[in-house]
Amino acid sequence: MFSLFYGLWQYMFSKLELHVLILGIDKAGKTTLLEKMKSVYTNVEGLPPDRIVPTVGLNIGRIEVANRKLVFWDLGGQLGLRSIWEKYYEEAHAVVFVVDASCPSRFEDSKSALEKVLRHEDLKGAPLLILANKQDLPEAVSSEELARYLDLKKLDERVYMFEAVSAYDGLGIRESAEWLVEVMERSKRTEMLRLRAGAMGPGSV
């Protein structure tokens, strides 16, 4: 009996689109990272770094990881654009917060932007992946050092992880995507969003 329900749940979950919001201050490497994900997980090559411009609107990336459909929403991180972020919170299953680990002078800006994200009611219970990006640069700090710099309070009840990545050479990309799928699968928030979508009519998940 259990395996029947489990099989059904697995089937429903594989149909569900999981929305992952990519946030972080400008120049952290969000778009470059998304394009790298596309190269790793699809047969279409993502844009090379020299063709990526600062984001003003929204970039969408669809990839499949472990039979799950992930939809990434990449937003602009410039100060004047950060007020748009919250429009996407309600529908997000998880958040990826990207930090340029090679630029300590901007850690404070990242910290306060992330603290504001975490305080928002609409993101309650959303798993959080914090990426220490640009590990290909010798001056980049490790994920543990970044965690110390950011010194985030009130993370205890949230499912979170720090990961060292490079959007240039792909370090940590697969580990990050696989972790996201695993935690979203188990998250109460995913269940809440699925029920809410179901309540809005068939085919709405």
Please report, in range form, the residues annotated as the binding site for GTP.
24-31, 77, 133-136
Scan residues 88-107 and list those touching ligand GTP (CB under 6 A).
none
Q: What minimum distance in Å lies between the beta carbon of 5 and ligand GTP?
A: 41
If contact means CB under 5 to 8 A according to the sort of partner, which of ligand GTP, Mg ion, none does residue 167 touch? Answer: ligand GTP
26 lies in the site for ligand GTP, by CB under 6 A? yes
DSSP codes, the chain: -HHHHHHHHHHHHHHSEEEEEEE-STTSSHHHHHHHHHHHHSSSPPPPGGG----SSEEEEEEEETTEEEEEEEE--SGGGGGGGGGGTTT-SEEEEEEETT-GGGHHHHHHHHHHHHH-GGGTT--EEEEEE-TTSTTPPPHHHHHHHH--SS-TTS-EEEEE--TTT-TTHHHHHHHHHHHHHH-HHHHHHHHHHHHT-TT--
If contact means CB under 5 to 8 A according to the sort of partner, which of ligand GTP, Mg ion, none does residue 48 touch? Answer: none
32 lies in the site for Mg ion, by CB under 5 A? no
Stretch that binds ligand GTP, among 23-31, 64-72, 110-118, 190-198 (CB under 6 A): 23-31
If contact means CB under 5 to 8 A according to the sort of partner, which of ligand GTP, Mg ion, none does residue 28 touch? Answer: ligand GTP
Q: Which is nearer to ligand GTP, 28 or 181 (CB)?
A: 28
49 lies in the site for ligand GTP, by CB under 6 A? yes
- Residue 10 catalytic? no
